[in-house]
Structure 1
Amino acid sequence: MKYLSTIISQLDYEIILKVKVLREKCELSQRDLSEKMNLSKSFVGKVEALGQPDKYSIRHLNLIAKALMLKSVAQLIPRGIQSHDMVEIIYEKVPKLNKDGSESRQFEEKIIQIAPITKT
């Protein structure tokens, strides 16, 4: 098995996860949310893909809050201060499963480990 890795700020990662949970709770696909934000259809998918450099900006948070009909942008930001600045996420790509249980040609990312990056 070949593992992949990416380095990302812990805050960016936590915001991406929070948006994903809220998006799924609203039963919106990545494409649906991208369209509600008036951005390219693949934008949210790129942000949620660990191997892509795309991240949400402050502007995007406002667009997301409106699209998900939240009361405040603050609902997208984790409480408190993150314990780490940057983290390394080790993951592998595994095939998604079709409704019949067979493997799809599409992949999802399975996180193996998240480790803080410490400066030496």
Structure 2
Amino acid sequence: MTDKQVEKTKIDLYVIRKVKERRLKVGMSQADLAYALDVSVGFIGKIESPNYPTHYNIKHLNDLAKILKCSLQDFLPKKPL
């Protein structure tokens, strides 16, 4: 990782884990999710990999809640991390 890359924060990792759990629970592949979210499969792969700083933004989370048929709150912790 170069100096200019930012590591994923605790909240990023938490949200990514929750989205992945939900994605797997509903039986979606990374490719299925990428297509529904209108992003590349590589983008989802980078998000789910700890080796890249890529993470979801708030628009992604809103769209993911629609796609995965859940609440936006399902991706967020009850207390600050």
Q: TM-score range by the shorter chain?
A: 0.7 to 0.9
**Deviations, residues 15-57 of structure 1 (Å, cap 9, x unaligned):** 0110111011011111111111111222211100111121011
Aligned to 2:67: 67
Aligned to 1:104: none
Q: Which runs of 5+ in 1 are unaligned?
A: 1-5, 83-120
* Pairing 1:81-120 to 2, within 5 Å after superposition: 81-82=80-81
Aligned-residue CA RMSD (Å)? 1.4
Aligned to 2:53: 53
Q: CA deviation at 1:73?
A: 1.0
* Pairing 1:19-58 to 2, within 5 Å after superposition: 19-58=19-58
Checking the alignment, whether the CA contact within 8 Å between 1:62 and 1:73 is kept in structure 2 is yes
Give the number of the structure whose alpha-carbon radius of gyration is greater. 1
- What is the TM-score normalised by the length of structure 2? 0.85
Higher relative strand content: 1
Checking the alignment, whether the CA contact within 8 Å between 1:19 and 1:76 is kept in structure 2 is yes
Structure 1 runs, 4 residues or longer, greater than 4 Å off: none
Q: Which runs of 5+ in 2 are unaligned?
A: 1-5
Structure showing greater relative contact order (alpha-carbon pairs closer than 8 Å, 6 or more residues apart): 2
For 1:62 and 1:79, the matched residues in 2 are separated by 17
Q: How many residues align?
A: 76
Query: Quick one: percent identity of the two aligned structures?
Result: 36
